Amino acid sequence: MAADLVIRGADVHTPSGFIPADVVVIDGRVDGLVSRGATVADAETVYGDGCWLTPGFIDLHAHSALRSFDEPQMAAKVSQGFTTQLICPDGLGPAPVDDAHVAARRDYLAGLEPSSLVAWSWRSFDQYLSVLDASAPATDLISCVPHSAIRQVVMGNGDRDATGEELRQMQALTDASLAAGGAAVSFGMIYAPGMYGRGRELRALASVAAKYGVPLVPHVRNEAGESLAAMSEFIDACRETGARLHISHLKLIGNEDLLDQLLGLLEAAATQIDLTVDQYPYGAGSTLLTALLPPWAMAGGPEAALARVRDRAARRELAADMRHGLPGWENLYGSCGAENVTITQATGLDEVVGHTVAEAAEMLKCEPADAVVEICARTSLDAAMIDHYSTERVVHEIYRRSGSLLGSDGVFNPSPHPRLYGSTGRFLGRFAIRGGLASATDAIERMSGRSAALLGLSDRGHIAAGQRADLVLLNPHEFIDTATFTNPCSYTAGVYGVWVAGQQVWTGQSSTAARPGRVIRIGKENLA
């Protein structure tokens, strides 16, 4: 059989190092590695002299649950080498959903999962995956089952403990969603209504995840002064149920003195449970502006929250709690400061986009905490932010000591965090190749083979015969992030080509028309 593609002259990544070889692709899979210059009949030939050929990168934290409907090529992702994305992190996602909450869910997600072109025709998780697959994305998409969505369908938006019957219903809905192809169960303990779930509820869903052998993927309840307790909440749930644990975007907000204790806790836990973590390689986060509000603000759902930020008495109380904090609450506003929070999206209030909360307060002629509440009110909660919370030292130490995998956490905002475009270039190009925080081989393995193993994807993560031909051709001397906080939509340098299932999706300068991706359903497809 004639080959479809041969990539010649590059050094090919393997888990033990790089080897000189030509790579032959037939029908979307690697047919084999052959000696350089070997005769290959009738194949398109790409020359990669001086380059590395690596497996396609896997984004373990992707807010792309709706992006394929608006931009199926997803240039921000393929341009940096991502060929597979894990979607619906943070306990948040479009499904499952019921008629009573579909409009509010869509509005609530708008800051993290913006989409203008799709009607929410689905209700079940299974239906959502089918509609998403029909969008024909450029990359493969694999989905978490989001806890917050499960809780909302069963319990609404109330701040209360689940009854025994409600726990059984949440377990049944989680089971059905995992059976439909979910790859993990995600939690977002700073987002309503998921934040209202606690020990018994977390253990109930963990037991379902354990049944399917898929990990819990939490954004923990506190990533600042109470991070140890927040991590322990999930470590304990997994120890008791046998579930696997994968911590989303491991970080420490301020409180640098806790870093050794935090990493020590995780190192000890890894001897007792199956534990992994991911990290985006920046000391700044990006999320909904409502994350600055105290937890009680979101009780009852978005409509109730909107009423609060528009009520004069409630506004004063919200701003006061932001200034002074509450016991047990991760107060991002207090930890970061108004001068270190930048508005990235503010629907209907575009003049504050790109400005800090401190600057927006001057524009709105009020105090900074009041400005946050005002922006939430005037945008109907459709606002997002970048929060600068940590030093490079902490980011580097987590990268060096934890063996962290990569999740971009990139959000398609009008003024996005640079991680949307630059995560792989920073993780591999800046931290490993130039910074020496890890070997290049190890960094690539973290972005490919180990991530594939975490998700149970046996058909990718390495360049070998039979593997899916998800490939990245990059020049190691040029490969580096160029996106910055002032110029965030800048493509990663040194990427010469990206292929998904043997079809080129990035030329080195632009996306192609190819859309070979698919929705992967764990347990429903033979991936080998």
Per residue in 340-372, pLDDT tens?
999 999 999 999 999 999 999 999 999 999 999
102/452 Cα distance (integer angstroms): 32
Burial grade of 435 (CB within 10 A; 0-12, 13-18, 19 or more): middle
Please provide the DSSP assignment of 182-211 as one string.
--EEEEETTSTTGGG--HHHHHHHHHHHHH
What residues does CATH 3.20.20.140 cover in the chain? Answer: 55-283+390-456+465-506
Q: How far is CA 246 from CA 213, 251, 411, in A?
A: 12, 13, 21
The residue written with tokens 């894990």 in the block is 86
At 238, list the tokens: 């997994």
For 114, the 3-state DSSP assignment is: coil
Cβ(408)–Cβ(388) below 8 Å? no
Mean pLDDT computed over 61-70: 97
Q: How far is CA 155 from CA 152, 159, 488, in A?
A: 5, 9, 39
Residue-wise pLDDT for 146-168, tens only, equals 999 999 999 999 999 999 999 99
Could you tell me which CATH number the domain at 55-283+390-456+465-506 has? 3.20.20.140
- Tell me 511's DSSP state: B
Residue-wise pLDDT for 252-276, tens only, equals 998 999 999 999 999 999 999 999 9
Q: Which CATH architecture has domain 5-50?
A: Roll (2.30)
Question: Chain-centre distance of CA 105, in angstroms?
Answer: 19
**231 phi and psi angles, rounded to 5 deg:** -65, -40
**198 phi and psi angles, rounded to 5 deg:** -135, -165
What residues does CATH 2.30.40.10 cover in the chain? Answer: 5-50
pTM of the model: 0.94
Residue-wise pLDDT for 461-475, tens only, equals 999 999 999 999 999
